[in-house]
Amino acid sequence: MTTKILIIGACGQIGTELTTQLRLQYGVENVVASDIRKLNNDIVNTGIFEVVNALDYNQIEHLIEKYQITDVYLMAALLSATAEKNPAFAWDLNMNSLFHVLNLAKAGKIKKIFWPSSIAVFGPTTPRENTPQYTIMEPTTVYGISKQTGERWCEYYHHQYGVDVRSIRYPGLISWTSEPGGGTTDYAVDIYHKALEDGNYECFLRDDSKLPMMYMEDAIRATIKIMQADAEAIKIRSSYNLAGISFTPAEIAAEITKHIPDFTISYNPDFRQKIADSWPASIDDSRARTDWGWNHRYDLASMTQVMLDNLRK
């Protein structure tokens, strides 16, 4: 049976690169991109695109039937910093969009779901270094609360109804192809832009705020890899820890100065510092590595090289 994919939230930071990669692997005709509005970009212009509201069950169901969709990647969400400004809408979007696809799978309309969780599920009481797969989870952000709740529902739907839902807890994601999307870790994208444009950057986190990060190419590879794994290999149906690299603003700045010697950084922490302080500094993702063969490829040096090279172009 041909795999037919629907990506909801295809124009977001992760969705754009995920859509491109899925089209390369499965064929343009088998990948339907969708988002709340139609932008003039490559995702819209180079394949099938539909306008869909992730909160509208009937719209999603219609697309699944129209294109005979087998796999749904639900990437629509309000991210950490943005969600704090609009908690009620963030909860509505992050939770009800998930219920819609879980219920469509329960009804037998789709075979497989990918739903992203996040390191935001952890909180200030979580062990900060080498955060285990199973640990204290007391998130203090709206985004984290919605993601933790979503994990519980994913696991419930798998155990109760046999829904094949798969998830990974993304760390901060860094990419040169899309603009920052309102996340606390987005400084690590913005800093490269500002380094090239202005030669300096004012960081909204402290210099020693160490956070788990990942180059986008690794994250996309992990997303597709977990979806392509045999169902028996996926032992965790809440969400898998996923790790790449951990660094501080001071460390990323030092790496940039190897390429741009005159680059300077200053620090002016804002409300996002409190969010960052509630998250882990490093993640233990040994279960993902054991169960379905995950491995990251990029470290801070190689990521910085690729980011600067591509942004210069």
Residues that are catalytic: 143
The order of strands in the sheet holding 5-8 is 48-51, 31-35, 5-8, 71-74, 112-114, 164-166
What is the maximum span of the chain, computed from C-alpha positions, in angstroms? 59
DSSP symbols for the chain: ----EEEETTTSHHHHHHHHHHHHHH-GGGEEEEESS--SSHHHHTSEEEE--TT-HHHHHHHHHHHT--EEEE-----HHHHHH-HHHHHHHHHHHHHHHHHHHHTTS-SEEE--EEGGG--TTS-SSSB-SS------SHHHHHHHHHHHHHHHHHHHH--EEE-EEE-EEE-SSS---S-GGGHHHHHHHHHHHTSEEEESS-TT--EEEEEHHHHHHHHHHHHHS-GGG---SS-EE---EEE-HHHHHHHHHTTSTT-EEEE---THHHHHHTS-SSB--HHHHHHH-------HHHHHHHHHHHHH-
Could you give the CA distance from residue 22 to residue 226 in angstroms, rounded to a whole number? 13
